[in-house]
Amino acid sequence: MKNKTSKIVAISALSLGAVLTNVGLSSTVSAAEYKSNLIVEFSPSNELVKPVDPTDPTKTLGDEEGPVDPTDPSGPNPGTEGPLSIDYASSLDFGTQKITSTDQVYNAVAQKFGDGSSRGDGPNYVQVTDNRGLETGWSLSVKQQGQFLTADNEELTGAELVFSNGVVNTASISPKPSAVKNSFSLTPDGNGTAVNIMAAKNGEGAGTYVLAFGDNSSGGKSISLKVPGKATKYAKKYSTSLLWRLQDVPAPGGE
């Protein structure tokens, strides 16, 4: 009986192996394919854009590390609303100077940054952003709002404001504005004539752009005030202002 039982078990095991082998050989792989869709859509942004580092626009500056207005301890004016916006423009300080009867050139102090910033002084700059989502170009101009005056309307006759070493910095992959004035002067003529200083043509200028005057080493000598020696100078503070204007008017060219 024992031999008979052993034979039956052995035969059963062999039969099961044959069945499993046959199943493996006869099975086929079945596959199905299905396509799903993905979308994303963008719309123009009206949000204010914070100032960026003028020499490294990949870095957005927080409230405690942003640029300082030397003429206003409460801080610089906020930028304009988007989607086409002027985010920041440096106010300029030419220091306290001795009265002299010879022609003089005074340099604007370099742009300073908040106590929370780890960077040193940098170039004075203007920053604009195009978040319209069109890449149709724009133009930036500036004009001096009259001659330097004292609080008693005494004029600093013949004073001339000169900008130099202009360079465009951006973190955007959209092409930089192709029309840029690297140097220019502003002389009040009573008409408030504006100077076009940076313009993007169609196919350029999407994103945030900085026009910096100098770099971290030359920022303190890239904007100057020329004062004639013959001009009468009172022992008072003189001031004026600049008006920056950004328009959706592209530079010539482009498609």
Judge whether 20 lies within some domain. no
What is the per-residue pLDDT for 187?
A: 78
Q: How far apart are the first and last CA of the chain?
A: 99
Segment (H or E) for 8: helix 2-26
Q: Enter the pTM of the model.
A: 0.86
**Cβ-contact 238, 148 below 8 angstroms:** yes
Sheet holding 166-170, edge to edge: 84-89, 124-130, 207-213, 166-170
Q: Are 70 and 234 in contact (CB under 8 A)?
A: no
- Residue 135, phi then psi, degrees to nearest 5: 55, 45
57 cis-preceded (ω within 30 degrees of 0): no
Report the CATH number that the domain containing residue 156 is assigned in CATH.
2.60.40
Is residue 22 within a helix (H) or strand (E), and if so which, with residue range? helix 2-26
Task: Give the per-residue pLDDT at 19.
Answer: 47
Q: Is residue 238 part of a domain?
A: yes
Which two structure tokens, joined as six digits, stand for 206? 């999407």
How far is residue 84's CA from residue 81's CA, in Å, rounded to a whole number? 7
Residue 30 lies in a domain: no
Q: Assess if residue 76 is contained within a domain.
A: no
* Residues 114 and 121: beta-carbon distance below 8 Å: no
Amino acid residing at 159: A
Answer for the pair 139, 250: CB distance below 8 angstroms, yes or no. yes
Is 121 within 8 Å of 219 (Cβ atoms)? yes
Those residues with Cβ within 8 angstroms of residue 188's Cβ, 6 or more apart along the chain or in another chain? 144, 145, 146, 147, 240
Domain extent, residue 184, equals: 84-247
- Asked if residue 1 belongs to a domain, the reply is no
Contact 195, 141 (CB under 8 A): yes
Instruction: Judge whether 79 lies within some domain.
Output: no
* Helical ranges in 27-100 per DSSP H: none
Domain presence at residue 154: yes
Angstrom distances, CA of residue 215 to CA of 12, 35, 87: 89, 52, 19
Establish if 207 belongs to a structural domain: yes
pLDDT of residue 190: 63
Predicted local distance difference test score (pLDDT) of residue 11:
43
Q: Can you give the pLDDT of all 255 residues of the chain as single tens digits?
A: 445 444 444 444 444 454 445 545 557 899 999 999 999 999 999 999 999 999 999 999 998 899 999 999 888 999 999 999 999 999 999 999 999 999 999 999 999 999 877 888 999 999 999 999 999 999 999 999 999 999 999 999 999 999 999 999 999 999 999 999 999 999 786 666 899 999 999 999 999 999 999 999 999 999 999 999 999 999 999 999 999 999 999 998 765
For the chain, the domain total comes to 1
Instruction: Pick the closest to residue 244 from 150, 126, 130, 133 (CA basis).
Output: 126
Nearest to 152 by CA among 229, 222, 238: 238
